[in-house]
Amino acid sequence: MIWSKIKRNVENGFAENLKGKIQIYITSYGSGYDITDLFNRGWITVDGEEVVNFSTPDAFYLNGRDFHYATPTNCAKSDDAKYNERDSKLLSEKGEFSKYDLSYCCYAYQNISIEEAINHESPIINMLAVLDKRMGKRRLLKLSQEELHPLVEYFLNLRMESENIKL
């Protein structure tokens, strides 16, 4: 499936208050299967401002792999790296995710239930779940009590704020 259709399907599944506010992008800065194919990235914007970057060169050079360990693919993945000292200002650590993680997770997300998505080991799929219109207020409140990946926590708070849900 082409990216424009995946993007449209995923973004159309967002809660009504978030449609148009949050957008997902990917790009490639080269073509073919050579070294220039590595120079690509994905990113997410909120109100037109980039809030998270999924850089493939960073992921490859820092981890030796293009895929995060939790991305649903059969390709070679990074080890289950635990980030003990996370930068509290970042939604994801440098090199933690690549453009491929974002695109594969968006593709996989279209074919799983909301229950599978919220319980998935991938923070990207969890993030998409909290933005999904199928997520009810009680489930969002329950999630807000759990320890979450900073990426998921940020978008959960954004969703709760957009729907005026108070703790």
Q: What is the pLDDT of residues 105-155, one digit of tens each?
A: 999 999 999 999 999 988 999 999 999 999 999 999 999 888 888 899 999
Q: What pLDDT score does 46 carry? A: 96
In the predicted model, what is the mean pLDDT of residues 151-165?
93
The answer on pLDDT for 17 being more than 70 is yes
Tens of pLDDT along 57-80?
666 666 666 665 566 665 554 555
Q: How confident is the model at residue 7 (pLDDT cuts 50, 70, 90)?
A: very high
| Cβ within 8 Å of residue 93, ≥6 positions away | 83, 86, 87
Single-letter code of the amino acid located at 134? R
Residue 19 to residues 9, 13, 16, 47, 66, Cα–Cα distance (Å): 12, 8, 5, 10, 29
CA angle 19, 22, 27 (to 5 degrees): 125
Q: Where are the alpha helices (DSSP H) in 43-167?
A: 56-63, 99-109, 114-119, 123-131, 137-144, 150-162
3-state secondary structure of 108: helix
Residue 77 confidence (pLDDT) = 46
Q: Is 157 exposed, middle or buried (0-12, 13-18, 19+ CB in 10 A)?
A: middle
Average pLDDT score over the chain: 82
Does the pTM exceed 0.85? Answer: no
